[in-house]
Chain A
């Protein structure tokens, strides 16, 4: 069974750093790109970027490039989404999803940034 399991909810203050994770199982992890998708409160889905776990090649949405970093550790079947300095506007649920078709999704990670 294909599964993507994300790390738990986070409460952070503005300016803090954060890294959330997405671990895949039930398939050959390195064979499939992993995407990150944001959903801000009351809003729709936004594609942030994706990574090829084989070689960590990344592609970012122009809206997110320079604001987040996507990385991977294929030895533990895990992809990460990282912020160096969080803003209140980063408050959202973040989903990881597999492949171009986004065929399997993680359960989502709520990130709450508030002073």
Chain B
């Protein structure tokens, strides 16, 4: 059960858009609709931002959007704000359970 592949870091200026990729395989991202994204700030519990590839939970800003192409999922954050600075993790269902990506540190310049 290999971890999904995310870039270690991304950065952007306030107001810009950024995209975080999450590469997997047909056994995870490409095979199931249960692909999700989490925002994690130090010392806090992770927060669900996107579920089932494209869906936003109630209360999550529409600046956050999810997509998938083949075996790669993506999280796009538009109109970057300082408060978006955090670690972001993707996750996918597999037959062996859930697998996470390695995490991406987002820095808002």
The reply to whether A103 and B48 contact each other, CB–CB distance below 8 Å, is yes
Docked pose: A96 CA to B40 CA in angstroms:
14
Number of A residues near B (Cβ < 8 Å) is 24
Q: Say yes or no: is B99 at the interface (Cβ < 8 Å to chain A).
A: yes
B97 touches A47 (CB 8 A): yes
Q: A59-B97, A101-B36 are in contact. Are A45 and B47 (CB under 8 A)?
A: no
Chain A: CB-nearest residue to B46? A105
A44 contact set on B, CB distance < 8 A: 3, 87, 89, 100-103
Chain B binding surface, main DSSP class = strand
Q: Are B45 and A107 in contact (CB under 8 A)?
A: yes
- State the Cβ distance, B66 to closest chain A Cβ, in Å: 12
Q: Is the CB of A46 within 8 A of B100?
A: yes
Chain A min CB distance to B56 (Å): 12
Known: A101-B51, A102-B38. A45 touches B100 (CB 8 A): yes
- Contacting B at CB under 8 A, from A10-45, are 35, 37, 44-45
- On whether the beta carbons of B48 and A102 are closer than 8 Å, the reply is yes
> Which residues of the other chain, A, contact B87 by a CB distance below 8 angstroms?
44
* In the complex, A61 has a CB within 8 A of chain B: yes
Q: Are B91 and A95 in contact (CB under 8 A)?
A: no
Residues of A within 8 A of B100 (CB): 37, 44-47
Binding site for B on A (CB under 8 A): 35, 37, 44-47, 49-50, 59-63, 95, 97, 100-108
**What would 27 A/B residue contacts be, using CB atoms closer than 8 Å?**
A35-B98, A44-B3, A44-B102, A45-B38, A45-B100, A47-B91, A49-B97, A50-B97, A60-B97, A61-B96, A61-B97, A62-B1, A97-B46, A100-B34, A102-B36, A102-B38, A102-B46, A102-B48, A102-B91, A102-B98, A103-B48, A103-B51, A103-B57, A104-B48, A105-B48, A107-B45, A108-B45
